[in-house]
A and B are shown apart, each in its own frame.
Chain A
């Protein structure tokens, strides 16, 4: 008898009262609104999916080129192109409502009022189980990052939107800050129910022969395996700083990577760029993680979270 297939594992996690089948969530901006990947596999097998960053009004985003390949990573400068809250409700909510996986609404804005408006509208939707507050987009001049850098502004924006948020509030932290622990604590003090990190790391690519930047926007956000060590350090430091759960991300490509984030203190993970590299990444990770847990005789994800010994 095959011992491996007999050993049963429980991949489920609960974050702020929301049940996820497993800790694999697809990250904002890399998974659209789910439809495109549903052509490749049953996306209901995922722990959850996170929408593209939604803003009060429709946005066209930045000029192209918006992507550059870099050593073990990629830069993007999409700049929050999205259909706006109204467009989202018309075009995407019907499909999202048909899903049997946790849908997290990622929300961004230019002003505090915009944030509150979008958070209230999106969090009121039945299909949305959680809000991820994007205060860390490096690709938009006004808004996004402006709220995410100083701990005072992180606390202020969190407090402001919390009043309008009908669902658990997850605050997504930027790595482009002086001290991630301070910002994690600031979000917790502001009323965040959980944290997610990291967003992309500010970066640039240069075409020296043409004396030009590769991205039309000049600078962009770095993601993919290149940022994993930065992300692990920040998840570790944030986990030490706060009591609320943490969703970790940055460069996850394999189930081994998922385990590293869990050990460093994450309760679940988000997977971004890896979806771009391979459309089957989500389902592959769910299966690989289950098999890895069986092989290593790990009964539950909770055995792993924060188990780092230093």
Chain B
């Protein structure tokens, strides 16, 4: 982890209220893995940093996908290219694949697709199938990006684009034919709950990247904890920032 000074290099509107930001650094970035996030410092009245998943990375830059939901993200959306920003990165355990995981199913909901896009970059030698869910046609993003990794299915809740219905229902209909070794997912809580049921029924391990309100983002303040089942059956409060944000869906109490 390092506090890096970035310049906002590029800002792009992906769909209504969702921006892609590219942050560039003069110095080389510390090594980044898929599913890790950064903690971005805003100016002035925003005392707490804001956590965002890393959507793309290379040695000197990272991209984020930011949905405007409140004061901090609104402030971010107002920034113009050239603005200096500092961010601590990389944070968190990220997604880990074992050798036996050959066929990977990426399941994303809305902005939650963003952290999954780094998996094929960290693990290029696997087979990927992606299921991406959005509320409606005007919110569909990332189709081209995930298409580059392998077969990609897009669904919309209202059926206005791609296949209709919740993406977890669409996946449930296809999963026996797909037979993935592991599911990696990120998205809204109801979606994660549906994936947890599917993973349990089909006995396919599933890992999710979660969101929890954060303070320090470095593992020191214990405000970000979530309840996680331990091997001995007890429940422990684990730090989402450094013990997570990726947890086994079977263990996490959603």
Contact = CB atoms under 8 A, between A and B. Distances in A.
Interface stretch (B16-24, B108-116, B219-227): B219-227
Interface in A261-283: 273, 275-280
Contact of A72 (B47, B218, B221, B223): B47
Given A69-B48, A72-B45, A276-B48, A78 B223 contact: yes
A167 B235 CA distance: 35
A74 interface: yes
From B1, B218, B220, B226, residue with most partner A Cβ within 10 Å? B220
Interface string B229-251: 00000011100001000000000
Interface stretch (B167-175, B180-188, B196-204, B208-216): B208-216
A74 to B, nearest CB: 6
B45 A279 contact: no
B240 to A, nearest CB: 8
A110 interface: no
A76 B237 contact: no
A31 B226 contact: no
B1 A40 contact: yes
Contact of B41 (A39, A225, A278): A278
Given A74-B47, A76-B221, A78-B223, A64 B216 contact: no
Contact of B221 (A32, A63, A65, A68): A32
A280 B46 CA distance: 17
A279 B88 contact: yes
A65 B220 contact: no
A interface bracket (residues with beta carbon within 8 Å of B) = 20 to 34
Given A29-B221, A31-B220, A37-B220, A276 B237 contact: no
A61 B237 CA distance: 8
13 contacts: A32-B222, A36-B220, A37-B220, A40-B218, A52-B222, A63-B227, A74-B48, A76-B215, A81-B225, A81-B237, A275-B221, A279-B1, A279-B88
A68 B219 CA distance: 17
B1 A64 contact: no
A30 B237 contact: no
B247 to A, nearest CB: 13
B218 A64 contact: no
Contact of A273 (B41, B47, B237): B47
A39 B46 CA distance: 24
B215 A67 contact: yes
A71 interface: yes
B236 A30 contact: no
From A30, A69, A74, residue with most partner B Cβ within 10 Å? A69
B226 A36 contact: no
B213 A65 contact: yes
Contact of B213 (A30, A63, A67, A73): A67
A61 B215 CA distance: 16
Contact of B216 (A61, A68, A224, A276): A276
A226 to B, nearest CB: 9
Contact of A275 (B45, B49, B216): B216
The list of the 6 closest CB pairs from A to B, nearest first, reads A32-B220, A67-B223, A36-B220, A66-B223, A276-B216, A276-B215
A10 interface: no
B236 to A, nearest CB: 7
A60 B230 CA distance: 13
B221 A61 contact: no
B167 to A, nearest CB: 26
Interface in A88-124: none
B213 A279 contact: no
Contacts of B143: none
Contacts of B226: 64
Contact of A279 (B46, B212, B218, B236): B218
Given A61-B225, A64-B225, A278-B41, A36 B48 contact: no
Contacts of B58: none
A275 B41 contact: no
A66 B225 CA distance: 8
B212 A277 contact: no
B188 to A, nearest CB: 16
A81 B216 contact: no
A177 to B, nearest CB: 25
Contacts of A37: 218, 220
Nearest to A274: B47
A192 B212 CA distance: 39
A37 B46 CA distance: 22
B48 A277 contact: yes
B27 interface: no
B3 interface: yes
A72 to B, nearest CB: 7
B1 A39 contact: yes
Nearest to A220: B223
A277 B47 contact: yes
Given A60-B236, A224-B47, A280 B3 contact: yes
A218 to B, nearest CB: 15
B220 A60 contact: no
A63 B212 CA distance: 12
